[in-house]
Chain A
Amino acid sequence: MQTKKRNKEDRTRMTTSPESPVSESLAEFKNSFAYGTRTDLNFKFLKNLPDADAAQFFQDLLHKLGDTLDDGDLTRVADHVFAWQAKAYAGAGNWRYPDGPFTPLHKPLAAAKVALLTSSGHFVAGDDPEPFGIKGMTQTEAMARIDDFLKEEPVLSVIPRDTPAAQLRVRHGGYDIRSAQADPNVAFPLAHLRDFAQEGRLGELAANAYSFVGACAQTPLLKRTGPQWVKRLQAEAIDAVVLVPV
């Protein structure tokens, strides 16, 4: 029997079935989860990892799954994904400020008017921001157009404070929205803030909450759109804002 000695490149390439003989490198495989052939935004962080680290992620994941198959404990799997997300995004990033502003809350929270602003991409049913003029854009379409979103100024959706969860919609091409669809409070905790206002923990919940798609042109957001939103909140006499970036 003759055997073919495999070179290094061969060892890192995976070959699919005989019906699909195109091979794929580990780099191509791990990158495919980030707006590629296997897009899964829970795992888009793999693209940030060196190949060796990505391989370690999968090796350790499978090892932990082996234990989980016996005891059913998925916590180790969640912890594993959590740890590797942190590794993938470690570091200061592009937006660094040595100092920043600080405004004290000049009154007790129980007397303050508090607003919510998130970058989770929530909006009220019937008030779709219709990005690019498209009616009823799906999440899949939003993901496919992520590059377009990143070039656009964001649109602020206004969400009245009494909006029930059933009337909330979410669409955001930058993260896996399944959790936010299942329970808006994971990223748009309006219901909890309503409760806190009723419990007297807040003086008042602002009449409107706000949300936008954080995957947008960042410089216009910083220099133009964001300051406009600040003026809007100031005009509403908001004392404090809970900000939830996603």
Chain B
Amino acid sequence: MATVVIGVAAFRDRLAAMSLPRLVVTPQLMGRPVGAPNDKTRQREILLAALDLLENAQAGKTIVDLT
């Protein structure tokens, strides 16, 4: 199975150290990795970035940093 992780910027170093297949780092406060409450536009953008990685990443440890 292909996987993608969406994580907040505060944990960027820790997530990067795990050598994850795909990682989207988001400019969100802890507890809100996919976006602020009811910010549907931003939430969709973050998820679409994650789905794009699922489809198009060519190798492991691919990180998209949205910060």
Contact = CB atoms under 8 A, between A and B. Distances in A.
A and B together in one complex? yes
Interface of A: 41-42, 45, 78, 81-82, 85-86, 88-93, 95-105, 108-109, 112, 114, 175-177, 179-180, 182-183, 185-187, 189, 192-193, 195-196, 201-202, 230, 233-234, 238-246
A99 B28 CA distance: 27
A222 to B, nearest CB: 11
A114 B50 CA distance: 12
18 contacts: A41-B31, A42-B29, A81-B29, A85-B30, A89-B11, A91-B13, A91-B14, A93-B17, A175-B31, A179-B37, A185-B37, A189-B47, A196-B51, A233-B1, A242-B4, A242-B51, A245-B15, A246-B33
Given A42-B31, A182-B37, A95 B18 contact: yes
A95 to B, nearest CB: 6
Nearest to B3: A241
Interface in B49-67: 50-51, 54-55, 57-61
Contacts of B15: 245
Contacts of B4: 240-243
Chain B: interface size category = 35 or more
Given A89-B14, A186-B37, A241-B3, 11 more contacts: A85-B10, A86-B12, A180-B31, A180-B32, A183-B38, A189-B34, A230-B1, A238-B1, A242-B6, A245-B5, A246-B30
B31 A239 contact: no
Interface string B18-46: 11110000011111111111101001100
B13 to A, nearest CB: 5
B55 A82 contact: no
Contacts of B14: 89, 91-93, 95
Nearest to B7: A245
A232 to B, nearest CB: 11
Given A86-B9, A90-B13, A244-B6, A100 B29 contact: no
Most buried by B among A88, A100, A179, A186: A186
B60 A102 contact: yes
Given A81-B29, A186-B35, A245 B21 contact: no
B59 to A, nearest CB: 6
A192 B43 contact: yes
A78 B21 contact: no
A180 B38 CA distance: 10
A242 B37 CA distance: 19
A185 B60 contact: no
Contact of B2 (A45, A193, A240): A240
B30 to A, nearest CB: 6
